[in-house]
Amino acid sequence: MADEIRKPKIELVKPADPTSIFDDLDALRKQERPIIQKHELLTHVPVGNPSSDGYFRVHPDPAMTLPAKIFRLKDDKDRTVYYVPPHMDEHPLTKTRLRSVLLVATFCWPLRQIGIWPVPLDTEGVGASWWESARTAYENAKERWTQMSAGNGHYVVSVAEGDIPDPEWPDRSFSELLKIGLKDRIIDNDAHPVMRRLRGIA
């Protein structure tokens, strides 16, 4: 008879209890949490009307504003804002298409986002009711949290009912905000893609 195949006997050995971080609570109580400082880089500054779903404030310092001429392609769904410097605002292809605005720094809540709002300076291209209500929103937003949404032929301007904390303005000049917000959106010569489109050049 063949030898029986014997299975080795396996004895389970319980591991020793590991040292627990909670063995010495006094030591844990004495430990101080390290202070980690984070500096967030400002890489995006939207240019356009503040969101109609939130509230906004405008910077009250005139140094955070700039009278300007802007251009928008009418068939652009994103409503991209282009800045047109003074030497181009009399160009035959842009002269009748430009809008006079006041570029102003905004702070939007609850997104807590810095933006640039082109506030219309005249009724050209916007209509008197739209212009007047936008100016009302602008003046109001210097001191109070304001909401602006499209109504029937004008903007509906509202103020926040709650006590929203003051804006957290970044330590940046308006020049820096404009450089970020209008990067690659400056029509300063005939070779710009927008000008080529207006000239009929593919």
Joined together, the tokens standing for residue 178 give 């404009």
The neighbour count for residue 26, using CB atoms within 10 Å, is: 6
pLDDT tens for the 202 residues of the chain, in order: 445 556 556 566 565 566 777 777 787 777 766 666 666 678 899 999 999 999 999 999 999 999 999 999 888 887 899 999 999 988 999 888 999 999 999 999 999 999 999 999 876 666 789 889 999 999 999 999 999 999 999 999 999 999 999 999 999 999 999 999 999 899 999 999 999 999 999 7
Question: Is 2 within the bounds of a domain?
Answer: no
Are 54 and 110 in contact by the 8 Å Cβ rule? The answer is: yes
Question: Is 6 within the bounds of a domain?
Answer: no
- What is the structure's pLDDT at 64? 96
DSSP 186: B
Question: Is 141 within the bounds of a domain?
Answer: yes
- What is the structure's pLDDT at 17? 61
Question: Is 113 within the bounds of a domain?
Answer: yes
Question: Is 26 within the bounds of a domain?
Answer: no
The neighbour count for residue 34, using CB atoms within 10 Å, is: 5
Question: Is 1 within the bounds of a domain?
Answer: no
Question: Is 175 within the bounds of a domain?
Answer: yes
Domain of residue 136: give its range: 41-198
CA-to-CA distance for 172 and 198, rounded, in angstroms? 35
CA torsion sign for 122, 126, 130, 133 is negative
DSSP 99: E
- What is the structure's pLDDT at 27? 77
Q: What pairs with residue 65 in β-bridges? A: 104
Are 155 and 56 in contact by the 8 Å Cβ rule? The answer is: no
CA-to-CA distance for 186 and 84, rounded, in angstroms? 6
Q: How many domains does the chain have?
A: 1
Question: Is 36 within the bounds of a domain?
Answer: no
CA-to-CA distance for 81 and 185, rounded, in angstroms? 7
Q: What pairs with residue 106 in β-bridges? A: 58, 115
Joined together, the tokens standing for residue 167 give 């804006």
Are 136 and 157 in contact by the 8 Å Cβ rule? The answer is: yes
Residues 6+ apart with CB under 8 A from 202: 196
